Amino acid sequence: MDPVRFIHSADLHLGKRFARYPEEIRGRLIEARHNILGRLARAAREAGAAHVLLAGDIFDTETPSRRIWQQAIAAMAADAEVHWWLLPGNHDSLAAEALWDSIAAQAPANVHLLTTSEAVELAPGAMLLPAPLPRRRPGRDLTAVIGETPTPDGVLRIGLAHGPILDFSEDGQAADEIIAPDRADQAGLDYLALGDWHGQMCINARTWYSGTPERDGFRHEGRGACLAVTLDGPAVEPEIRPVEIGQFHWQESALALLPGQDAALVLRDALPPDRRARRDHLLRLRATGRASLAGQAALHVAADEVEGDFGHFEFVTDALATEFEQADLDAIDRVGALRIAAEKLAASARDAEGSAESRRLAEAALNRLYSYLMEERE
C-alpha cells in the first residue's frame, strides 16, 4: 500500500482576541492565527500530504462570530486538494451545535466534520477513528470507544482525539477525563493524533501532541509547529517530523542580576541578537536577584531603549530586590532631610517584620527618589 501522509495539528483557537496584550500586537496576533490555516495547507503540500487532521479546539469558543468561522472555511476551501478533518475539542465541543450545524451547511467538499465516533475512511486503506467531545467536560476518556470500533482487517487505524494524557491543568480536567497513555496500543492504533496541549509532545512512538501551530502565550516557548506524519503500513512505526510554521516567537526568560554587575549590560546580553527578527518576537523578561539603585535605574533605561524593537516586550521587576549601597544613599544626599528620608525608606525596604507589600512600596519609593535626584543631576 502507498504510504499515508497527513499533517497533524490542533488547538488553532481561531477567534482568540489576546485582549491582555497591547493594541499594537493584538491585531497581528489575531491575524497570525487566521493565517496559520494557509501555512498548514502549505506544510501539507510540502510534505506531500493530502490531509490535515485538526485534533480539536479549532475555534476558541463554542460560539465564534460568523466572520471567524466563515473566513476559516473559506481558507480551508482555498486548496481543494487538501482535506481538512475537523474534530470538536473542549473549546468547540459538539455542544456548539449552532457552530457545527452552520459549518456543516457551508462546508466545501474538502472539509470534513467529525461529529460522531464512527470510523471514516481517510484514504484507501486508512480509517480515521475520531473521538469528538460532546461537551466541554465529557467526564470520561472518550478514546475508550476507539478500541471497540471495528475496522476492516489490514487497514491503518488512525485515532484522533482531544484531551489530556497528564493533568496539564490547561483547563483543570477531571482525572476521569484523562486519556490512557497507552491508548494507541490498547486500541490497535497505528497513530493517535492528540490535541489539547499547546506545546508539542511525544507520548510514545505512535502518540503525539502536535501543539498549537501558532503559539498563544509564554507558557510554551518558541514558534508554533505541526507534525508531518507518514504511515507506511500497519504495524510500521510512523515517521513523525515536526514542522515549524508559526509566525510569532514567544519567550519568557529570567534575568538573574547581582549587585556588582552592569545590569544594563546583562539585559542587553539576554536579548535575541537578530534585531530584525525581534519584530515577531514576544519577550517577557523577569528580573530576579538584586541590583543597586543605580543599577535599577540603568536597567529601566536599557529596557526602555530596547522595548521598541520587539513585537511585545515585558520587563517584570517584581522579583528584583534593591541593594542599597552606601554610595547610592550618598548620591541622594550625605546629610540632611533627603538622607534621613532615604535611610528611612531603605530601612522599611529591609524590614523583615514588615509586610512584603510595605517593603515593596518602600523600595519603589526609594528608587523613585533616587531617579528624581539623578535626573536632576543630569
Partner 1 sequence: MRLCSITLHDVRRFTDTVRIEGIGPGVSVLTAPNEQGKSTLFDALQALFFQPHSSKAREVKSLRPHAGGAPVVSAEIETGEGRFRITKRWLSRPIAEVRQDSRLVAKGDVAEEWIAAQVRAGAHGGPAGLLWVRQGLTALDGGEKSDKPARLVRRDLLSSVAGEVDAMTGGRRMERARGRCEAELGDLVTNSGKSKAGGPLKAAEDELVTLEGRHAELSRLSEEMRGALEERRRLRRESDELHDPAQSEAARIRLEDVRGALESAKRHAERLDQAGELTETARKARDHAAERLAALRKGRAALAECSRNVDDTVNAEAEASQSATDAEAARANASRALTAARKVVAEAEQSLRQLASAERAAEARKRRKALSAQIDNARTLHKNLRSAQSTASAGPTDKALAALEAAVNDLRVQEALQEQSAPWVTMRYARPEAPRARLAGGAELEDGKAVALPRGADIELPGLGTLAVNPGTRADSDDALAAARATLEARLAAIGASTAEKARAMGAARRQAETKLREIRAALAAVAPDGVATLEAELAALGESDDAAGQPDTDLPDRNAIELALSEARSTLDAADRAAERAVALAQAASIGLARATAGREAAERRLAEAKAALSEFADAELEENQRAEALREAEAHFSDAAAKAKRLAEAAPDLAVVDAAVRRAQSVVAANEARLRELDRRLAELDTLIDVRAGEGIEEELADTAERLARARERLDQLTFERDMLSLLRAELDTARTAAREHYFKPVTRELQPLLNILWPDAVLSFDDETVLPSVLVRNGQEEPIDVLSGGTREQIALLVRLAFARLLARGGRPAPIILDDALVFTDDDRIERMFDALHRQADDMQILVLSCRQRAFRALGGTALGFVRGALPEEAA
Residues that bind partner 1 (CB under 8 A): 15-20, 60-68, 95-99, 102, 333, 335-338, 340-341, 344-345, 360-362, 364-365, 368-369, 372-373, 376
Sequence-ordered alpha helix ranges (H) in the chain? 23-47, 66-77, 97-106, 144-148, 183-186, 263-270, 293-307, 326-332, 336-350, 356-377
**Based on CB atoms, which residue is closest to partner 1, 87 or 96?**
96
Nearer to partner 1, 247 or 317 (CB): 317
Please, what is the minimum distance in Å from the beta carbon of residue 340 to partner 1?
Answer: 4
Name the residue nearer to partner 1 (CB basis): 157 or 162: 162
Q: Name which of 243, 261, 251, 187 is nearest 219 in CA terms.
A: 251
What is d(CA 149, CA 137) in angstroms, rounded to the nearest whole number?
Answer: 22
Q: Any residues with CB less than 8 A from the CB of 3 and at least 6 apart, and which?
A: 230, 231, 232, 233
Instruction: State the minimum distance, in angstroms, from the CB of residue 20 to partner 1.
Output: 4
Q: Would strands 207-209 and 191-195 be described as parallel, antiparallel, or unpaired? A: parallel
Number of C-beta neighbours around residue 114 at 10 A: 23
Write down the least CB distance from residue 4 to partner 1, Å: 35
Do 202 and 210 meet the contact criterion of CB atoms below 8 Å apart? no
Residue closer to partner 1, measured from CB, 92 or 323: 92
Query: In the bound complex, what is the minimum distance in angstroms from residue 15's beta carbon to partner 1?
Result: 5
Least Å distance, CB 303 to partner 1, is 15
Closest contact distance (angstroms) between CB of 10 and partner 1 is: 18
In the bound state with partner 1, the residue whose beta carbon lies nearer, of 63 and 204, is 63
**Shortest Å distance, C-beta 212 to partner 1:** 16
Give me the residue label for grid cell 530576579. Answer: 288
Nearer of residues 115 and 200 to partner 1, judged by Cβ: 115
Alpha-carbon span 144 to 114, nearest angstrom: 17
Q: Which residues is 222 bridged to in the sheet?
A: 250
In whole angstroms, give the CA distance from residue 193 to residue 300: 45
Phi and psi torsions of 72, nearest 5°: -65, -45
User: Shortest Cβ distance from residue 167 to partner 1 (Å)?
Assistant: 23
CB-nearer residue toward partner 1: 254 or 361: 361
- Residues whose CB is less than 8 angstroms from the CB of residue 308 and which lie 6 or more positions away in sequence, other chains included: none
Q: Least CB distance from residue 336 to partner 1, whole Å? A: 5
The count of C-alpha atoms lying within 13 angstroms of the C-alpha of 121, restricted to the half-sphere facing its C-beta, is 5
> Which helix (H) or strand (E) covers residue 84, if one does?
strand 83-86
Nearer to partner 1, 3 or 21 (CB): 21
All cell numbers assigned to 246: 508559526
CB 69, min distance to partner 1, A: 10
d(CA 369, CA 375): 10
Rank residues 78 and 98 by Cβ distance to partner 1 and give the closer one.
98
Which one, 100 or 208, has the nearer CB to partner 1? 100
Torsion sign over Cα 330, 332, 335, 340: negative
Residue that has been written with the C-alpha cell 473566513 in this structure: 71
